[in-house]
A and B are shown apart, each in its own frame.
Chain A
């Protein structure tokens, strides 16, 4: 076969296949676009919209952010649920068998504080419940119509909502990735028999971007942050029941009744609005994190709209007092 004919055939086949790949290929860099809950979460107690169980609520209220300064917790990463709830972008990378060129797995990469996820596409089963748990968990994927359905288990206890709500190591996450042109819609359901009263359903949207927008996964190295934690290793920063000093902050600043601030399945359905109608007092005016158009050049500090939320990853500075040393 002449080299010219071979090149011609190859070019023709590529020309035919390229659009097809573009229709279903999920790989690429995706920028987060949609919900505001994480980026605009400023109050330490904020379980709004989360169907937490009584145990999940107790766990959240006992949490003191200073605990992250303990050596053994500094490298505690976000859970895979952060694909839906975190402020981070997403990268999807296909991994192919070097011999057959068939898809073995997708790698979902996001940010330095979230463990990489490998989504196995080869039909392998999930391991025994007693198998080791990792930050990224164990994921399998199957195509259902135009959607990639992923089931993730075996991930460690960690943040369900940044520093506010937590999932246990018995949680299971089911989510679908559906591409609509340059938009990726993710619909997820988190089941957790320990910290949730019913599945936590959430959606998120990403937009295809050029280039990489993810942060590289960098090794985490614990350092001495709060000397007293190292002087007294038995010290575990926490709040005792009823002693969380931030419990009423959301009610005072936003007028949201405490019952709603503390979450629960009842609070996420339309009927709950009837209860709220008599108890919610809207502030006269939005005072902080109000969004809006960017300030003109030379003007005051602007606040972006979509995609420009004051995200604040794990390294974001907490408000004064949030990271205060634990009680002695």
Chain B
């Protein structure tokens, strides 16, 4: 009898923990079940890495990028005139770099399963399609590589409960429990990229690079902030993964939307 009681107690204690592992998306169209609202206009807050983003850094300024020797060879040969002549002014506006470019994002739902991210800087459009990663396509059906590549998105939802050891201790009976906040993150994986630059001054990424991103929304004071965490895997040109996060601030409307074409020099 005692054994059965203990077993029941343990099962009850474990239940919320195992439920927590089911942090996957609930059933329903991704637009309907979205745990966070990414739509609207967002402006870059260039408070970090300003010297490498607001201006085109000097040739040879590779600070902070875990590049390898092959990458340096390519970057040392950077020649914006050559890129312009080849019609490749958008090399530093590809998916692994576009979030670092000072500008604005306009995020909308294209349909129930597709998020569209437009940028005014470089006039790029990213399509984040929800669903399982696509199986390798037949050569004839293969989509041509592009600056923004092919992105597969998924919601990662908040856990319904915290493990016992991480559940906050209520200090007193008169302290109200915090209201449950809906939350989650958008994970996007991008492949099928056209080779480009991580930094305007020619630090390269290869066509084989894989970009993993997490989109998080938080409130701080009067601001709604979007943080885009980027992980770039590129064994061709990087010694290790490149990890970086960019902050954006929500704007009330698109009054400051300012489409500007790609530039190889500025």
- The chain A residues found within 8 Å of chain B, CB to CB, are 1-2, 5-6, 9-10, 13, 16-17, 19-21, 23-25, 33-37, 39-40, 48-51, 94, 96-97, 100-104, 121-124, 142-147, 149, 174-176, 178, 180, 183, 185, 187-189, 191, 199-205, 207, 254-256, 260, 267-273, 276-277, 280, 282-287, 289-293, 304-307, 309
Contact = CB atoms under 8 A, between A and B. Distances in A.
A146 B156 contact: yes
A35 B157 CA distance: 28
A207 to B, nearest CB: 7
A187 B50 contact: no
B247 A203 contact: yes
Contacts of A39: 64
B17 A146 contact: no
A205 to B, nearest CB: 5
B143 interface: no
Interface stretch (B68-76, B127-135, B189-197): B68-76
Given A146-B156, A146-B159, A270-B46, 15 more contacts: A9-B7, A16-B14, A103-B165, A103-B166, A103-B169, A124-B171, A176-B220, A191-B221, A202-B48, A207-B243, A272-B54, A286-B60, A290-B63, A293-B69, A306-B243
A282 B199 CA distance: 15
Nearest to A14: B14
A147 B216 CA distance: 9
B48 A40 contact: no
A37 B3 CA distance: 59
A123 B3 contact: no
Given A201-B223, A269-B43, A270-B121, A256 B247 contact: no
A124 B175 CA distance: 8
Nearest to B69: A293
Interface string B183-221: 111010000000000000000000000000010101011
Interface stretch (B18-26, B88-96, B109-117): B18-26
Contacts, number: 292
16 contacts: A1-B2, A21-B163, A25-B163, A33-B243, A35-B64, A35-B244, A36-B52, A121-B169, A143-B168, A144-B183, A189-B225, A202-B47, A203-B229, A254-B51, A255-B58, A306-B240
B84 to A, nearest CB: 17
Contacts of A51: 47
A305 B43 CA distance: 28
B3 A1 contact: yes
Contacts of B54: 260, 267, 272-273, 276
Contacts of B121: 270
User: Which 10 A-B residue pairs are closest in the complex by CB-CB distance?
Assistant: A145-B183, A189-B220, A291-B63, A305-B66, A49-B50, A286-B61, A36-B64, A145-B158, A1-B3, A286-B60
B33 interface: no
Contact of A256 (B51, B171, B182, B246): B51
Nearest to A146: B158
Nearest to A173: B220
Interface string B233-249: 00000011011111101
A53 to B, nearest CB: 15
Nearest to A188: B220
A13 B218 contact: no
A35 B169 contact: no
A255 B56 CA distance: 11
A202 B244 CA distance: 12
Contact of A180 (B7, B13, B43, B214): B214
A40 B223 CA distance: 29
A183 to B, nearest CB: 6
B126 interface: no
A123 B170 contact: yes
A293 B163 contact: no
B227 A187 contact: yes
Given A176-B216, A185-B227, A205-B229, A49 B48 contact: yes
A192 B266 CA distance: 33
Contact of B243 (A17, A24, A183, A189): A183
A201 B10 contact: no
Contact of A24 (B20, B184, B239): B20
B97 interface: no
B58 A285 contact: yes
Contacts of A103: 165-169
Contacts of A202: 47-48, 247
A269 B50 CA distance: 10
B259 to A, nearest CB: 12
A271 B120 CA distance: 12
B12 to A, nearest CB: 11
A50 to B, nearest CB: 7
Contacts of B242: 306
B139 interface: no
B63 A17 contact: no
A144 B245 contact: no
A262 B75 CA distance: 30
B106 interface: no
